[in-house]
């Protein structure tokens, strides 16, 4: 006799049926979603929700529950980048809570930055009352029009009864599929509205969920796997090209299993750094415009390129026709169908979740006892690493930025969370730091937003309170959000801030020297007056040191890293230090500029100037 199935137990939200304001509903859902920090700046149109955070935390204190820390930055752009740093370091949705008008518009840059790098953040904006929308009311901004162009999705809540479902749906959209930023614009009257909290429910979103379900159900079938391994069987020099999608999808472990099972070397994009342990024998580090010479030469030499969670962007495939020129076959796995064949035609592709795809391929290969001897290729890549190793003027009496990063790396052993601003220091950090696992490398990739590093470090520290977080910044980049130094000390965060000071916009100067006959138009600006040490001290850094002697580098860096609280280190570096290798505009990897200390295969040809359509 068969046993009857037990009824499914439905867990009812403990506060379901409670009367709440819209603002209280927002805060309750933030707590339900596992939010551990809110980053934001207050203002008139968002005050009801700020008050709801205060009341929620009071109730949690009384009951011994978990509070929702509200982190106040110097401005809303900082709040947005803190939410992004939190998301990048944890994989969870970062939350930013700002007011209307300038509060919302100040988050446009971090929203676009997060969209470009597929980072899940939720920006909740206050808005003028529903009846005032469109009247040019005080601190009104057309948030749906502005954010609709740069966010994954935007909601304007004009029906209070839909607020609860909208906030839950916003979290769902931000973290599912290809992650990205979602903006919810909430008028003040909707925040003040009182209704019954249901404790459940999302918006219908039939089109989105249908596409999502199709992607999640997509599987590599027997024929697909057989075709893939036939290409791998025919290859002698296969190479994995891994991007940020591997990290976003949580597939780093499965990538390592796939690569090591079949002996396939791995290069990563800037956003893919950490997807594969940089110290692994199969690791060929970063490829692209400022990738390692040996990584780029491996791409040139490979005969089967396997792109996983990468999109052939212009920093990697600046000249698509000459990218991976010897690859007889290219395979591409990505969650976003729009990326397949967008830049480079491929021979085999799969649109679906990366972890499942990698697991399916590995399982198929093992089940069919797939074995190919790639030892000759391994010997070649080892020789590439040796012959074209990263290098610089180690005999210079001036402090070389590469040396500083090497020393920090030696002492942190590839275990620190590294954030950066944007510029030369960003590329030096990508080239010379080791990363043992994902989510240790946080940088603004596609947008290249100066000022990202410091607020992102704050978000990362809140996401990982016990971690060592180091912001590697430049003197020009840190100025963009230097007000967040005070945020670090206000919350007594043990963040370590390094400013590699070369007195100006180093990357712009490098381009001007190479391609504009040395005409330094505005690249030096007047950025020579700031005393960074006094600025850090004024903002509460008790450890604020200027390093200007090469012989002091190991000792000072050890003191800096070991300091138990917030620490600030300014390093006066060689102002002529450049970022090499460098693939010039309109050039292939074969024409890579390797500088004076990295050995290239052939002398580089430097164009007189970038063409009219060339990227920066």
Contact 352, 335 (CB under 8 A): yes
Q: Rounded to an integer, what is the distance from CA 579 to the centroid of its chain? A: 21
Relative orientation angle of helices 22-32 and 47-63, to the nearest 10 degrees: 50
Q: Is 507 a catalytic residue?
A: yes
Closest CA to 440 of 278, 240, 287: 278
Contact 56, 28 (CB under 8 A): yes
Q: Which residues contact 517 (CB under 8 A, 6 or more apart)?
A: none
Q: Could you say which of 24, 33, 76, 140 is catalytic?
A: 76
| 309 phi-psi bin (left φ>0, alpha ψ -120 to 50, beta other) | left
Contact 482, 424 (CB under 8 A): no
Contact 55, 24 (CB under 8 A): yes
Contact 433, 288 (CB under 8 A): no
Q: Could you say which of 507, 541, 543, 587 is catalytic?
A: 507
Q: Looking at the chain, how many residues does it have? A: 616
Q: Could you say which of 139, 236, 322, 537 is catalytic?
A: 139
Provide the b/e sequence for 187-196 (b: ≥16 CB within 10 Å): bbbbbebeee
Radius of gyration of the chain (CA): 25
Q: Could you say which of 152, 188, 344, 496 is catalytic?
A: 188
Rounded Cα distance between 245 and 450, Å, is 23
Q: Is 139 a catalytic residue?
A: yes
Q: Could you say which of 54, 58, 138, 615 is catalytic?
A: 138
Burial of 401 (0-12, 13-18, 19+ CB in 10 A): buried
Q: Is 322 a catalytic residue?
A: no
Q: Which residues contact 590 (CB under 8 A, 6 or more apart)?
A: 300, 322, 601, 602
What positions carry a catalytic annotation? 76, 138-139, 188, 507
């Amino acid at each position: 006799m068969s046993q009857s199935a037990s009824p499914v137990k439905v867990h009812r939200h403990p506060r379901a049926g409670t009367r709440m304001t819209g603002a209280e509903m927002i805060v309750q859902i933030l707590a339900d979603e596992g939010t551990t920090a809110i980053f934001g700046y207050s203002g008139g149109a968002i005050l009801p929700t700020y008050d709801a955070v205060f009341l929620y935390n009071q109730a949690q204190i009384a009951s011994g529950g978990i509070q929702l820390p509200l982190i106040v930055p110097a401005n809303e752009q900082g709040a947005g980048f803190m939410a992004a740093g939190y998301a990048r370091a944890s994989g969870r949705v970062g939350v930013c809570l700002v007011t209307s008008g300038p509060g919302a518009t100040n988050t446009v840059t971090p929203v676009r930055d997060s969209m470009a790098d597929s980072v899940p953040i939720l920006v909740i904006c206050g808005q003028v009352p529903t009846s005032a929308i469109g009247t040019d009311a005080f601190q009104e901004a057309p948030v749906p029009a502005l954010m609709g162009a740069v966010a994954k999705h935007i909601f304007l809540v004009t029906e209070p009864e839909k607020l609860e479902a909208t906030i839950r749906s916003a979290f769902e959209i931000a973290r599912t599929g290809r992650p990205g930023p979602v903006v919810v614009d909430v008028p003040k009257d909707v925040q003040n509205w009182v209704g019954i909290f249901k404790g459940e429910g999302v918006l219908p979103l039939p089109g989105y969920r249908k596409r999502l379900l199709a992607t999640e159900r997509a599987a590599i079938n027997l024929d697909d796997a057989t075709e893939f391994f036939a290409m791998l069987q025919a290859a002698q020099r296969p190479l994995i090209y891994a991007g940020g999608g591997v990290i976003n999808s949580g597939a780093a472990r499965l990538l390592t299993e796939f690569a090591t099972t079949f002996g396939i070397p791995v290069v990563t994009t800037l956003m893919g750094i950490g997807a594969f342990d940089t110290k692994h024998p199969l690791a060929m580090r970063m490829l692209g415009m400022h990738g390692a010479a040996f990584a780029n030469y491996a791409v040139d030499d490979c005969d089967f390129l396997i792109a996983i969670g990468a999109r052939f962007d212009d920093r990697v495939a600046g000249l698509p026709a000459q990218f991976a020129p010897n690859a007889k076959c290219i395979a591409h796995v990505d969650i976003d169908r729009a990326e397949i064949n967008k830049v480079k035609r491929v021979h085999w592709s799969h649109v679906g979740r990366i972890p499942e795809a990698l697991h399916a391929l590995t399982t198929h290969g093992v089940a069919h006892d797939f074995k190919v001897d790639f030892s000759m290729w391994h010997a070649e890549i080892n020789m590439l690493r040796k012959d074209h190793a990263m290098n610089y003027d180690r005999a210079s009496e001036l402090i070389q930025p590469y040396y500083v990063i090497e020393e920090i790396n030696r002492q942190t052993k590839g275990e620190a969370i590294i954030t950066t601003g944007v510029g030369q220091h960003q590329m030096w950090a990508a080239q010379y730091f080791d990363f043992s696992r994902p989510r240790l490398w946080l940088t603004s990739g596609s947008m290249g937003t100066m000022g990202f590093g410091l607020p992102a470090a704050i978000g990362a520290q809140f996401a990982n309170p016990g971690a060592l977080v180091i912001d590697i910044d430049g003197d020009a980049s840190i100025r963009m959000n230097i007000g967040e130094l005070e945020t670090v000390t206000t919350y007594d965060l043990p963040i370590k801030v390094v400013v590699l000071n070369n007195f100006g916009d180093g990357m712009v100067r490098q381009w001007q020297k190479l391609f504009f006959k040395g005409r330094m138009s505005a690249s030096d600006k007047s950025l020579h007056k700031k005393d960074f040490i006094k600025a850090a001290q004024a903002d509460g850094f008790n450890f604020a040191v200027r390093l200007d002697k090469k012989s002091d580098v190991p000792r000072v860096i050890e003191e800096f890293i070991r300091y138990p609280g917030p620490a600030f280190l300014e390093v006066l570096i060689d102002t002529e230090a450049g970022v090499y290798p460098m693939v010039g505009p309109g050039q292939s990897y074969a024409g890579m500029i390797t500088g004076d200390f990295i050995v290239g295969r052939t002398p580089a040809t430097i164009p007189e100037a970038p063409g009219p359509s060339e990227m920066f």
